Structure 1
Amino acid sequence: MELIYRAVIVFLVGFLFLRLSGKKAVAEMHSFDLLYVFVLTNIISAPVVVNNLGKAIIYAGITVIIYKIIGRLSLHNKLRWLLYNSPTVLIRNGDIDRKGLKKVRMPVNELLSHLRVKGYTDTQNIAIAVMEDFGDISVIPKADYRPVQPNDLNLKVKKEYVPIPLIMDGQIVSHNLKYLKLDIDWLMTEVKIMGEKVESIMLATFQENGKLFIDNNEIKDHKNAPYYYKPGEDN
């Protein structure tokens, strides 16, 4: 029982400290963020093996405070460049920067694969490609090869509407109903009209026209239509 107790405490404390650290520490991480997570992980996992739960929590708390302080300091431009790596240019005006690739130790074929993931197949069409300090690659195409924007055609478009989830994985999202000033009776009536049951609904969203859209767990049979092919042996 003691082992279970310590494991539960360690898990909950670790979760609490990561929440206190902020989203940045658990999203795309800089080298310092990654080091912080490694150190914190080692500290909070120690009590599972060794009986020093109290000290581990104190050390973990100190580590979180240090991380938060350095995070604050990094907001100042002069200190930021000391704590984090500078972005590295990999392609400029269609030309591959050999020094940049060498600096980040990236072969050309890996660069090309990153570009394909982002939808670019020809380096000549790229104005600039940069490896950011957190390791991701940003790509900006030349003006002639970027997607056409409505503003380019002097078109006026309506404001984008984001469908609001009301049911997810068979569970009602109550706070979204409250936000829309709707009640559960309205939702249940809509679901019943569509011949569905809440527990069988994967996703139900409130649409711009005030109606409910339902995506259930059923997959429609497209009778082997080529446009619905999926890789693998499950066709």
Structure 2
Amino acid sequence: MEAFYRTFLVFVVGYLFLRFTGKKAVAQMHTFDLLYILILTNIISTPVEVNNLVKAITYAAITVILYKIFIRLSLHNKLRWIIYESPTVLIQNGDIDREGLKKVRMPLNELLSHLRVKGYTDIQSIAMAVMEETGNLSIIPKSEYRPVQPNDLNLQVKKEFIPIPLIMDGQIIYHNLKYLQIDRGWLINEVENKGELVENITLATLLEDGKLFIDNNEEKEHNSNPYYYKPGRDN
């Protein structure tokens, strides 16, 4: 029972520390962010094996505070360039920057692989490719190769509407109902009018026209229609 209590407490404390730290530390991590995560996980996991729970939590709290201080310092431009690495240009105006590749220790075939993943096969179509400080590759195509934008054609487009989930995995999303000022009874009535049950619905969203879109758990038969082919043996 004590082992369960100690493990549960360590898990909860670690979760709360990461929540307190913020999304940045667990998303696209810099070198300093990764070091922080490694140190924190080692500290908070110690009580699972040895009997120093309070001391470990104290050290973990100090680590979190120091990390928050360094993050605040990184908001100042001069200190930011000391704490974090600078972006590295790998391609500029269609030419590969070999010094940049050497700096990030990336072979040419790996660079080409990254470009293919991003949908680019010809380096001559790239205005700039940069290895960001997070390790991600940013690619800016030349103007003649970028996708056509409505503004290029002087087209007026309406504002994008994001369908709002009201039911997910058979559960009603009540905070979205409250935000939209929609009564639960209206939702149930709409679901029943479509011959569905809430518990059988994978996703139900409110569309721009005020109608309800429903995706249930049933898969439709497509009678070997090639447009609905699934890779693997599940056809």
Q: TM bucket by the smaller chain?
A: over 0.9
Question: Offset of 1:109 from its aligned partner?
Answer: 1.4
Amino acid at match of 1:207: L
Question: Offset of 1:101 from its aligned partner?
Answer: 1.0
Report what 2:156 is aligned to: 156
Report what 2:91 is aligned to: 91
Amino acid at match of 2:192: K
Matches within 5 A, 1:17-96: 17-96=17-96
Report what 2:206 is aligned to: 206
Provide the C-alpha distance between the structure 1 equivalents of 2:173 and 2:119, rounded to a whole number of angstroms: 35
SS in 1 for 2:144: helix
What are the superposed Cα offsets for residues 136-157 of structure 1, whole Å, 9 maximum, x if unpaired? 0000000000000000000000
Unaligned runs of 5+ in 2: none
Relative to structure 1, the CA distance from residue 109 to residue 230 in structure 2 (aligned partners, 3 Å threshold; closer, same or farther) is farther
Amino acid at match of 1:17: F
Question: Offset of 1:211 from its aligned partner?
Answer: 0.8
Provide the C-alpha distance between the structure 2 equivalents of 1:130 and 1:229, rounded to a whole number of angstroms: 37
Report what 1:15 is aligned to: 15
Provide the C-alpha distance between the structure 2 equivalents of 1:216 and 1:88, rounded to a whole number of angstroms: 47
SS in 2 for 1:124: helix
Question: Offset of 1:102 from its aligned partner?
Answer: 1.2
SS in 2 for 1:143: coil
Report what 1:186 is aligned to: 186
SS in 2 for 1:138: strand
What are the superposed Cα offsets for residues 13-53 of structure 1, whole Å, 9 maximum, x if unpaired? 00000000000001010000000000000000000001110
| Greater mean deviation of Cα atoms: 131-140 or 101-110 | 101-110
Amino acid at match of 2:167: I
What are the superposed Cα offsets for residues 61-108 of structure 1, whole Å, 9 maximum, x if unpaired? 000000000000000011001111100111111111111111111111
Unaligned runs of 5+ in 1: none
Amino acid at match of 2:34: L
Provide the aligned C-alpha RMSD in A.
Answer: 0.9
Amino acid at match of 1:94: G
Percent identity, aligned pairs only?
Answer: 73
Report what 2:5 is aligned to: 5
Compute the TM-score of the two structures, normalised by the length of structure 1.
0.98
Question: Offset of 1:227 from its aligned partner?
Answer: 2.3
SS in 2 for 1:129: strand
Report what 1:138 is aligned to: 138
Provide the C-alpha distance between the structure 1 equivalents of 2:152 and 2:62, rounded to a whole number of angstroms: 53
1:107 paired with 2:69, answer: no
Amino acid at match of 1:144: E
Provide the C-alpha distance between the structure 2 equivalents of 1:131 and 1:217, rounded to a whole number of angstroms: 42
Question: Offset of 1:123 from its aligned partner?
Answer: 0.8
Provide the C-alpha distance between the structure 2 equivalents of 1:176 and 1:162, rounded to a whole number of angstroms: 13
Provide the C-alpha distance between the structure 1 equivalents of 2:223 and 2:18, rounded to a whole number of angstroms: 48
Question: Offset of 1:220 from its aligned partner?
Answer: 2.1
Report what 1:123 is aligned to: 123
Question: Offset of 1:183 from its aligned partner?
Answer: 1.2
Question: Offset of 1:110 from its aligned partner?
Answer: 1.1
SS in 2 for 1:139: strand
Provide the C-alpha distance between the structure 1 equivalents of 2:76 and 2:163, rounded to a whole number of angstroms: 38
Provide the C-alpha distance between the structure 1 equivalents of 2:89 and 2:148, rounded to a whole number of angstroms: 25
| Greater mean deviation of Cα atoms: 181-190 or 109-118 | 109-118
The runs of at least 4 aligned residues of structure 1 exceeding 6 Å deviation read none
Question: Offset of 1:222 from its aligned partner?
Answer: 2.1
| Greater mean deviation of Cα atoms: 24-33 or 225-234 | 225-234
| Greater mean deviation of Cα atoms: 117-126 or 38-47 | 117-126
